[in-house]
Amino acid sequence: MTQPISPSGPPSGTWRRMGAQDLPAVMALATTMHPGCPERPDVLDERRRLCPAGCLILPDAQGKPGGYVLSHPWRMARPPALDTYLHHLPVRADCWYLHDIAISPALRGRGAMHAALRILTRHARQNTLRWMTLMAAEGARPVWTHMGFEPMPDIPADITATYGADACPMRRAISTTVQA
């Protein structure tokens, strides 16, 4: 069994909140980096509007979006299907759902993924959530396993299938201890 990771240290990196003006660049990155998981721009923008703190941009050297995160509080037993509207966040969320993260190859290897997970972990703790969940797709399961996520049982197959044939719902415990 993999030990839950508790990212330590203050949130770092150059992540900033996503704005409406970032949506065209986010869509371009999503189309390039996740071709098997297409989503409509308004679906992604709804997530940004519902949870601004959980939707981030990683600027490149020119200040343009070179990466993004879409995340929000949700219910672990029923992750949202791909390309579906949420309409609202649940009143009693039990996890922080990492809907999507993409980092351009030019910005990888600099700790941006770890920095994003520290930020999201902080948001989860602020919302008294003890789990981070996601749907690993397009061959990403080994990456998420390395980051401390484990397969999550009993997720409806019709939801998992929307993310592709190799999709795997995963979760990671969030330590309740804040580490410096």
pLDDT higher than threshold 70 for residue 71: yes
Comparing 60 with 179, which gets the higher pLDDT?
60
Secondary element (H or E) of residue 42: helix 41-50
CA quadruple 135, 50, 111, 129: dihedral sign: negative
pLDDT at residue 38, as a whole number? 86
Asked, for residue 65, whether it belongs to a domain, the answer is yes
Residue 76 burial by Cβ neighbours in a 10 Å radius (0-12, 13-18, 19+): buried
Q: What is the pTM of this model?
A: 0.88
Strand partners, 56: 17, 69
Return the beta strands (E) in 14-145 as ranges: 16-17, 55-59, 65-74, 95-103, 131-136
Distance of alpha carbon 135 from alpha carbon 30, whole angstroms: 15
**Residue 11 placed within a domain:** no
CA distance linking residue 129 with residue 95, whole number of Å: 5
Is 119 part of a structural domain of the chain? yes
Residue 61: inside a domain, yes or no?
yes
User: Into how many domains does the chain fold?
Assistant: 1
> What digits encode the pLDDT tens for the residues 40-55?
999 999 999 999 999 9
4 domain-assigned: no
Provide the pLDDT for residue 180.
37
Amino acid at 171: R
Q: Which domain holds residue 68?
A: 16-80+92-173
Going by C-alpha positions, the residue among 61, 53, 142, 131 that lies closest to residue 97 is 131
pLDDT average, residue stretch 114-119? 94
pLDDT confidence of residue 12: 37
Q: Which residue has the tokens 């049982």?
A: 153
pLDDT, one tens digit per residue, over 7-27 is 443 333 489 999 999 999 999
Give residue 80's pLDDT: 95
CATH at residue 40: 3.40.630.30
